Structure 1
């Protein structure tokens, strides 16, 4: 498998979410979405401000051209409202292996089935279509909400990269590295589908 095939644009669709190839045409809607919760003010993560959205979009598209990232705009269904960004990143086409990251959602859709289905679609594409051996998920060691969400998926902690990054506020980030391996994927898939089935039964909207 080549880097270009692993980073090739694709649309992933479900009931609650559609992940579509990121483009500069998404920038105005993404700038509106990030205002929902003023997400760029969160100190423990790096989320673009409305004014920085074009720069961030162009950065991700440049990484896609280099074969190391496959970025998506996150669309809430059935409304069609753009509510965030996510990506396959740090793509290793030889193994193959990738990380799901650089993800953010408007506050109004956080803790809804949208995120569950987005992870189901991304993991399914990685394991069932691209044949990845493992998929990573990373987060700040102090981001307890993100860590709980990742662990709830069934991902296992591989380790902590100490003094891994310098944050915008000058603090040093330790990064938790989690992964799901191909043999673990069927159980994780069943778990995610079970959560979505329960959401369908109560009529929860994403």
Structure 2
């Protein structure tokens, strides 16, 4: 399988292979801010977290996703993220299916999580491109992706059907390998200057 399951650590977060051992923490994370009630994203309800972990682990077995639990400095799982839509032939992947408990949003958690994943993708896996996708209407997610340094490739209209039956327009962003040095420098500066809370 490409890439192999792994652990990634920074000053604010630790990423480790997702397992059912994270279910209780992640259920609490989902309940923080009632994130599962947001119509434009797919965050499991607290009671659905074990099933969502199983779904992601099934995609791991199918070699199409590498799921992580995102842990804070105290070792508590505060969210999930993945390498997904892995294309080893064309050296591309997507960082996606990411969510964090409300209390760590706008903290260094997302910036460092994305930094660690991008660093691994470009410097260890030799990726040509890394994609990010989100609902066109999810302005918070789109702003976060743009702050990373990703550029909008386009919008896939009526791309997927949401749980509520609506059709999602998907905004597709990417960072290319030759852009990574500048993106890396920007992320390092953000992390240096980011308040710890």
Q: 1:48 aligns with which of 31, 44, 60?
A: 44
Q: Which residue of 2 aligns with 1:161?
A: 156
Distance in 2 of aligned mates of 1:170 and 1:67: 28
Q: 2:59 aligns with which of 47, 60, 63?
A: 63
Q: Which residue of 2 aligns with 1:177?
A: 172
Q: 1:35 aligns with which of 21, 24, 31?
A: 31
1:147-178 deviation digits (Å, cap 9, x = unpaired): 11111111111111110111111111000000
Deviation at 1:28, TM superposition (A): 1.3
Q: Which residue of 2 aligns with 1:128?
A: 123
Distance in 1 of aligned mates of 2:29 and 2:135: 23
User: How many residues align structurally?
Assistant: 197
Q: Which residue of 2 aligns with 1:5?
A: 2
Q: Which residue of 1 aligns with 2:22?
A: 26
Distance in 2 of aligned mates of 1:55 and 1:80: 22
1:9-60 deviation digits (Å, cap 9, x = unpaired): 1000000000010011111111111111111000000111111111110111
Distance in 1 of aligned mates of 2:55 and 2:140: 27
Distance in 2 of aligned mates of 1:196 and 1:96: 27
- Determine helix, strand or coil for the equivalent of 2:51: helix
Q: Which runs of 5+ in 1 are unaligned?
A: none
Distance in 2 of aligned mates of 1:114 and 1:46: 20
1:90 matched to 2:85: yes
Distance in 1 of aligned mates of 2:170 and 2:118: 21
1:82-116 deviation digits (Å, cap 9, x = unpaired): 10000000000111110000000000000111111
Distance in 2 of aligned mates of 1:131 and 1:65: 23
Q: Which residue of 1 aligns with 2:76?
A: 81
Q: 1:108 aligns with which of 93, 103, 111?
A: 103
Deviation at 1:5, TM superposition (A): 2.8
Q: Which runs of 5+ in 2 are unaligned?
A: none
User: How does the TM-score come out when normalised to structure 1?
Assistant: 0.93
Distance in 2 of aligned mates of 1:153 and 1:28: 30
Deviation at 1:65, TM superposition (A): 1.2
Distance in 1 of aligned mates of 2:60 and 2:53: 11
Deviation at 1:66, TM superposition (A): 1.2
- Determine helix, strand or coil for the equivalent of 1:142: coil
